[in-house]
Amino acid sequence: MIFHIDGGIGKNVIATAVVKSLVTAYPDRKLIVVTAWPEVFLHNPNVYRVYKFGFLPYFYDDYIRDKDTKVFRTEPYHTEDILYKRKHLSEIWCDLFGIKCVTKKPELYPTQRELMFIERQINKEGPILLVQSSGGAESQQHPYSWSRDLSPVFAQEVVNTVAGNFSKVLHVRRDNQPSLNNTIQVKDTVRNLLLYVSFADKILGIDSLIQHAAAAYNKEAVVGWIANSPVVFGHEIHKNILPTEVKSFRHFIDSYLEESDWVGRRFHECPYDNVDTIFDKDQFVEALLGSKSGELLFDMPATTLSFE
């Protein structure tokens, strides 16, 4: 059976839960995954083979022609359950495939050698806070999305408040995304970025790959949600925080089936008059530390930890 997955890294991490449901429903079939992000599925014992888009030599001859192959290629984002935020993405996917959803928990399978490599690079000397305040595809036009990301000012306030409780604050971001003082920028391959999560003591994130990887490693994360919903894309293990600022009136003249553009391209639709106060900082600090205040002990400039 073939599981075809369109979309970004985070969606593919959630898809690893669907993999478990597929092999449970069809135990006598071998599962082949076709995706843009094969590294997410490496070493997964439920996956027979994984192929990357654009690298499919003789695929039709090997798996389709004169074969009894089941093909699972349906886009769950085009469903009412997504639009009305009724169920988790993994459940919606399984419903479309006509199978029982046996788990919503993602699964990642690092090797010991991979973990040893990341551990040496991090050089862990104490508790580590891992931060992802921006997400999205590299090709997106704007580096900051009001509908998904933590505003740089707000994220900096949270980091400044809690940084003294950690020996290192690692910030997962691309070069074109907002930087944060008192952090060390982390750039690496997708596979290695997912591995960093396993060494974090606390995680501050958004609806993106790091929070999904945290769920796979059974690590609690503090996650801020703006346009998207934790009901659909979140995980129960996490502390999911919703906006506290009241929305102002807007004409959503360009909205079709959803109120907001997930990428945040339509600036005129942002319903918050001040993106820096969408969230209550104390909620994030309490979720990370269990208290409302923290003493800043480390004053590190924004630097880079890169192993590309």
pLDDT at 140: 75
Please write the tens of the pLDDT for every residue from 29-54.
999 999 999 999 999 999 999 999 99
User: In the structure, what pLDDT confidence band is assigned to residue 264 with cuts at 50, 70 and 90?
Assistant: confident
Q: pLDDT tens-digit profile of 74-128?
A: 999 999 999 999 999 999 999 999 999 999 999 999 999 999 999 999 999 999 9
Is 53 in a helix, a strand, or coil?
coil
CA distances from 35 to 32, 97, 109 (A): 10, 17, 17
Residues 147, 151: Cα–Cα separation, whole Å? 10
Contact (Cβ atoms closer than 8 angstroms) between residue 96 and residue 136: no
Q: What does the alpha-carbon distance between residue 271 and residue 224 come to, in Å, rounded to a whole number?
A: 16
**Phi, psi of 269, deg, nearest 5:** -95, -5
Rg (Cα) of the chain, in Å, rounded? 20
How many other CB atoms are there within 10 angstroms of residue 127's CB atom?
12
Task: Write out the two tokens for 94.
Answer: 């399984």
pLDDT at 306: 44
**Residue of 131, 150, 156, 292 whose CA lies nearest to 221:** 131
DSSP state string for 180-203: -TT-EEEE--HHHHHHHGGG-SEE
Predicted pLDDT of residue 292: 43
Q: pLDDT per residue over 150-172, tens digit each?
A: 999 999 999 999 999 999 999 99
Mean pLDDT of the chain: 92
- CB distance 222 to 129 below 8 Å: no
Band of pLDDT at residue 276, cut at 50, 70 and 90: very high
| CA distance readout (Å), 179 to 38, 151, 213, 240 | 29, 11, 22, 23
Residues 31 and 70: their CA atoms lie apart, in Å, by 10
Asked whether the whole model's pTM tops 0.85, one would answer yes
